Amino acid sequence: MLVATFGPTTGWAGKTITREGETFILQDHGPISVQDVLTYDGQGHLIWATDGTRAWVASLGRANPLPVSQSGEVGAAVLLGERAGRPARGEVLRVVGLVIVGCIAAISVLAALISVGAGGGVSGLLFWMLVLVGLIALGAWLAYPLVKRK
């Protein structure tokens, strides 16, 4: 029985979720839990097969609240890029961003030292220190979710 289809808000557009017996099946991936289906819906990715299907799936979720981690081999984490111990894409991008900000901060410190040595005076030093403070703030913003998660 067709339950829902992924809409254009995801790379899985057109893939279907069906119900076979007591199991939800994600096309080309395998079994998923009712919580996974509700997670995809909560992210706005699903187009429901009929008007009553969403309420029916939600009622199944209330009757059988399994955590996503115990639900099956695929789960909602696949949609987010999280597989078998690999970090999520957002986490990788934050780490790359931190490395880039760190490199720019090091260049800013070097530029500040060169500015003072070349006779740029206090105004040159002040400019580069403000750039450095901004980079530190950006780095803290990038790092906060990584530190908070651990």
Other beta carbons within 10 Å of 24: 24
- Whether the pLDDT of residue 145 is over 90: the answer is no
Q: pLDDT at position 97, please?
A: 82
| Cβ(37)–Cβ(25) below 8 Å | no
| Chain centre to alpha carbon of residue 20 | 30
Band (pLDDT 50/70/90 cuts) for residue 146 is low
Report pTM: 0.44
Beta bridge partners of 18: 2, 25
| Cβ(46)–Cβ(40) below 8 Å | yes
Of residues 99 and 121, more confidence is placed in 99
Closest by Cα among 59, 63, 6 to 29: 6
Of residues 88 and 85, more confidence is placed in 88
Q: pLDDT at position 47, please?
A: 93
Q: pLDDT at position 27, please?
A: 92
Mean pLDDT of 128-140: 83
**Mean pLDDT taken over the chain:** 78
Mean pLDDT of 87-115: 79
| DSSP sequence for 3-63 | EEEE-TTSTTTT-EEEEETTEEEETTTEEE-HHHHHHHHHTT-EEESSTTHHHHHHHHHHH
- Whether the pLDDT of residue 16 is over 50: the answer is yes
- In this structure, what token pair is assigned to residue 12? 């899985």
Distances in Å between the Cα of 84 and the Cα atoms of 33, 74, 93, 95, 128 are: 17, 10, 18, 19, 43
Report percent pLDDT > 90 for the chain.
19
